[in-house]
Amino acid sequence: MKRIIDFILSHLPVFYKVFLFLISIILILQLFPRQAGFQYEYQQARPWMYEDLLAPFDFAILKTEKELEQERKEVLSDFRYYFKIDYTVYDKKLAELCDDFETAWKRKYSTDEKFDKKKKHNSQVIFDILDHLYYERGIIFLDDTLANKGPEYEINLREGQVAEVRTLSDFYTISEAYEYINSRMETISQQDDTVDVDLIKPLLEDALTHNVFYDEELNEKAKKEQLALISPSRGMVQQGEKIISKGELITSDKYQVLKSFEKEYNKQLGDLSVNYIIYLGQFILISLSMIVLSLFLKTFRKDVYADNRKIILILVSILFMVLLTGLVVKHNIDLLYLVPVCIVPIVIRSFFDNRLALYVHIITIILIGFMVPKSFQFVFLQFIAGIIAILSMVTLRRRSQVFFTAGLIFLTYIAVFTGLSLAQTGSFGEIESINYAYFGGSALLTLFSYPIIFLLERIFGMSTDFSLLELSDTNNRLLRDLSMKAPGTFQHSLQVANLAEEAIIEIEGNPLLTRTGALYHDIGKMDSPLYFSENQSSGINPHDELEPEESAEIIIDHVIKGVEKARKYNLPEYLIDFIRTHHGTNKARYFYSMSVKNQEADDVDQKKFTYPGPKPFNKETAVVMMADGVEAASRSLDKPDEESINELVERIIDEQVKENQFDNADITFKDITTVKKIFKQKLNNIFHIRIAYPSER
C-alpha cells in the first residue's frame, strides 16, 4: 500500500492532468445526443457514394420548405375573409338620433301640435334611411387587408353562427353612405316639401359609423384550418423500392427523397437506440480527440503542458464552445450558424501562439462536428474562418484589430458558404440567404471575445497582447510618474526595452511581454532616484556620505520597493516577475568591492550585497536581465567603440552565466550567443560607431 501511495504522490502532477482531461471528456459526453444517427453522408449535385439504397419501410416524400411556402401563399391568396355585422351599432345610433331629432325639432318648431303629423313623417324618413344604411346594406370598415380589392371581391359575412358570401359592393363605405344621404335628400326635397331636409340631413350625417367589421379571431382560426389542410408530402416510397443507385447523381428531387428517408429513419429509430453502445462510441471519439490534444501539448508545447493553469484555460475554452453549440442544437438547430465558434481561436491566440490556436480550433470543431448535421460543411466552414481569424491577429498592435478580424470572419463565412451552396445545388436561387444574417450575427458576437479575454486574464493571471498594449503605453500613470521623478531611469528603461525586444524576437520569445516588463523593471527607483547614477545630473553623489553596506541596501531595496509599488498599482504578476528577477541573485558589485577594499575580505557579509532574487525563469525575464546589465554598463564607457562595446557585452553576460543566473530559464547557449550579437549591433548603432575601414597600405 505504501508503495502505491508513494507512486501516486510522486506522479501527482500527471494524475492531476489526467483528471482534468477526464473531467472534460465526461462533460463533453453529456452534451452529445444519445440517439443513433443516420449513417449516410450526402450532398446535392454529388454522386451517391454507397451501395444501392433500398427503402426498408414505407415513407412519404416530404415537400421542400420552398414548396410548402408557395402553397401557403396560394391558400392565403384565395382566402375569403370573414366580417361580422354589429346590429347594436344601429340601436345605439338610432337612440342618439331620436334624442337629437327631438331637440332640433323643438328648437325649430316648438311643441305646437299642428306640426305633429309633419314631425312623424320626418321621423319615418330618418328611420327608413337609417334602416337602409345599417340593416339592408351595412357600412363596412375596410382596413389595409382589403384596401386595394375591387367591388366584386367576395367576403364572408357572419351573422350569429351563420356566414354568407357577399361582395364589397353590397356594402357602403362611409363616403358612399354620405353620398347616399345627399342623393336621397336631394330626391326627397324635389318630391316631398313636408320633409325638412335642412334639419334631418346633418342629423343623419352625424349618425354615420361602421357596423361591419373585420373578424380577426375567426379569420385567424380559418387560416390555420386551411393551412393545416396542406399536405406536407408529395408521394410515397414503398418498402423495397430503390431510393438511389450507387454512383447516381443526387439531383434536387433525389436529395429531397433522401432527406425524407433520413427524417423518417430517425423518427422510427426513436428510443430503440442502444444507448450504452452509443455512449461507449462517443466516449472513445472524445477521448481520442483529447488524447491527441494532450500529446500535442506534451510534445510541442512543453511549457503549456507543464502549467496546469494554461491547460485549464484551453479546456474551458473548448468546453464553453461545445456547450454553447450543444444548447443551440438542442433548442433551435436553425440558429447553428449564429454560434460564434471563432471566439475559441481568437482567445487561444491571445494567450498563446498561432499554431496552438489553430490546433485547439481544429479539436473544437471536430468535437462540434459530431453533434451537428452536415458536419463536413460545418467543419470546413469553421476551419477556414478560424484560420483567417488567427492570421488576422498574427501581429496584434491595436485593439481595433478585433473589429477587423470580425469583419474578415463575416466575409469568409459568406464566401465559403456561397461556394459550398453553389457546388451542391448549382443554383443561386437554392441558397438559404437567411444564413447570411446568421453569419453577420456570429461575426458581431465574436466581438465578445474581448471581454472574455479580459475576464480570463483576471481569473488565470496570464498575459495577452491586449493588456500588454495598454500597459506598455508610456502615457499611463505609473510610467508618467517614473519619467517625471526619475527621468534617467525612464530613459534607461526605454533603452532596455528596445534592446530586449529586438533580442527576444530573434530567439522566438514574446516581444510585447518582454518590452512591457522592461519598461517597469526599475519603477522601485522612483522613491530615491538620486541614489542611482543615471539620475545624478548635478555631480553630487549621495553615496559619498554613506558606508558601502548602507549604499548597497538602498540599491538592493529598489527591487523590493518596485514589487510593492507594482502591487499598489495593481500590475499583474507576470510583470512583477520582471521586477523581482532583473538582478536575480547577483551582487551589488561596486559597493561590494569597496567594502572588500575597506576591510578584510573574510569580514564582509556577502548577503548584505546580494539581491534577494529569484533568478529569471523564462526567456523573457532572462533577456531583460542581460539587457539591463549591458545597457547600464555601457553608460560608463569613456570612449565607446566597436571593440569596447563587444568586450563589455561579452563580459557582462558571461559573468551572469558564470553565476548561474539562467539555470531556471528555458534559454540555450545558442540563444545567449544570438542575444549578444543583437546587443552589440544595437549598442554600436546607439553610439554611432562607424565601420573601421582598412588603410591603403
Mean pLDDT on 177-200: 87
- Biggest alpha carbon–alpha carbon distance for the chain: 151
Q: Are 360 and 345 in contact (CB under 8 A)?
A: yes
- The C-alpha cell at 524 is 522601485
Mean pLDDT on 205-229: 89
Residue of 88, 125, 129, 120 whose CA lies nearest to 102? 120
pLDDT at 696: 45
- Paired strand residues for 610: 587
CA dihedral of residues 51, 235, 421, 448 (deg, nearest 10): -110
- If one compares 348 and 56, the residue with the highest pLDDT of the two is 348
- If one compares 123 and 545, the residue with the highest pLDDT of the two is 123
- If one compares 277 and 217, the residue with the highest pLDDT of the two is 217
Residue of 61, 63, 181 whose CA lies nearest to 132? 181
Mean pLDDT on 122-138: 88
- Chain-centre distance of CA 441, in angstroms? 8
Residue with cell 491547460: 311
Q: How far apart are CA 258 and CA 38, in angstroms?
A: 11
DSSP per position, 496-551: HHHHHHHHHHHTT--HHHHHHHHHHTTGGGGGSGGGSGGG--SS--GGGGS-HHHH
Mean pLDDT on 616-638: 91
Q: Which of 36-40, 403-407, 525-529, 617-621 has the lowest mean pLDDT?
A: 36-40
Q: How far apart are CA 157 and CA 190, in angstroms?
A: 36
Residue of 329, 341, 342, 338 whose CA lies nearest to 370? 329
Radius of gyration of the chain (CA): 44
The b/e string for 348-359 (b: 16+ C-beta within 10 A; e otherwise) is bbbbbbeebbbb
CA dihedral of residues 484, 486, 492, 493 (deg, nearest 10): -70
Q: pLDDT (tens digit, 9 = 90+) per residue, 561-617?
A: 999 999 999 898 889 999 999 999 988 877 777 777 776 555 677 788 889 889 999
How does the average pLDDT of the chain come out, rounded? 86
Mean pLDDT on 458-484: 87
Percent of the chain residues topping a pLDDT of 70: 93
0.85 exceeded by the pTM? no
Q: How far apart are CA 270 and CA 187, in angstroms?
A: 78
